[in-house]
Amino acid sequence: MTGPTAAGAQPVGSPAAPTPVELDAAAADGCPLPGGPAGGRTQTADLDGVDTGDRAVPAPAHRPGPGDWLVVAGLALLAAWVAVVAVFFLPLHIGSVPLPVSALLPVALLAWAPRAAYRLTGRIAAAGLIVVAWFAVSVYLVLVRNELYLNYPVTVFLGQWRVMLLLGLGALTAAATLGLLWGDHLRSGLAARADPARPDPARPDPARPDPPA
C-alpha cells in the first residue's frame, strides 16, 4: 500500500510530463508526445510524400479495372455504330416529306453513355472517348464521297440541313453531358478535400455490397 504523494510530485511509474520544448519539436515532426495536447497540429503527407498541410488528400475509393475499361470500349463501339445508323437513315422520307428521325439517336446515346462510362471509371476521359467515337465516325461519313455514284456524298446531297441537324443535336448533347460531368467531378473533388472521410459518389466503394435488385 502506497502513501499519498506530495503536491506537485510525479507518481512512480508514470511517464514524465513533456516540456514545452519537447512538445514543439514533436508537433513539428508530426508525432505528438504522450501528455501533449490532444488537439495539437499534426502534419500529414499524401501518397507521394508531399506535405499537404493539416490533412491529406484521400486516395480514390475505387480504381477502374480492366473490366471497367472493357465496358467503356464497348460503349465507344456502340457510339460508332449509332453514328453509322444515324447517318445512313438520315435521308428517310415519308412520301415527299423528309423525316430525319435518326438524328435523335445520338441525342439518346450521348445523354446516357458518357455518364455510364464516368460512373464506371470516375474519369472524364472515359466519357470523352464516347463522344470522340461518335463525332469521328459521323464527320467521316458526312465528308466521304461515293465513287460508285457520281461522286456524291454517302449521306444526303439535297437538303443539307439534315446533316446540320444531326451534327448540331449531337454536339449540343455531348457538350451538355460533358459539362455537367465536369462540374460533378470538380464538386466531388472539392468535397473530398474538405472532408476526407466523405466518399466520392462517382467512385463506388468496392467493399460495400451492391443493393439488391
109 lies in some domain: yes
Structural domain count, the chain: 2
Q: Which residue has the cell 470523352?
A: 128
Return the closest-CA partner of residue 201 out of 127, 111, 118, 113: 118
In this predicted model, what pLDDT tens digit does every residue of 111-120 receive, in sequence order?
999 999 999 9
Q: Does 165 lie in the same domain as 102?
A: yes
Give the domain extent around 45.
Answer: 21-53
Residues 44, 56: Cα–Cα separation, whole Å: 6
Question: How many other CB atoms are there within 10 angstroms of residue 175's CB atom?
Answer: 12
In this predicted model, what pLDDT tens digit does every residue of 102-141 receive, in sequence order?
999 999 999 999 999 999 999 999 999 999 999 999 999 8
Residues 130, 118: Cα–Cα separation, whole Å: 10
What is this structure's pTM? 0.60
Q: Does 104 lie in the same domain as 27?
A: no
The pLDDT of 87-95, averaged and rounded, is 87
* pLDDT higher than 90, residue 73: yes
35 lies in some domain: yes
122 lies in some domain: yes
- Residues paired with residue 150 on neighbouring β-strands, in sequence order: none
E strand or H helix that includes residue 24: helix 20-29
Query: Where residue 80 falls among pLDDT bands split at 50, 70, 90?
Result: very high
6 lies in some domain: no
Q: Does 37 lie in the same domain as 96?
A: no
Q: Does 78 lie in the same domain as 128?
A: yes
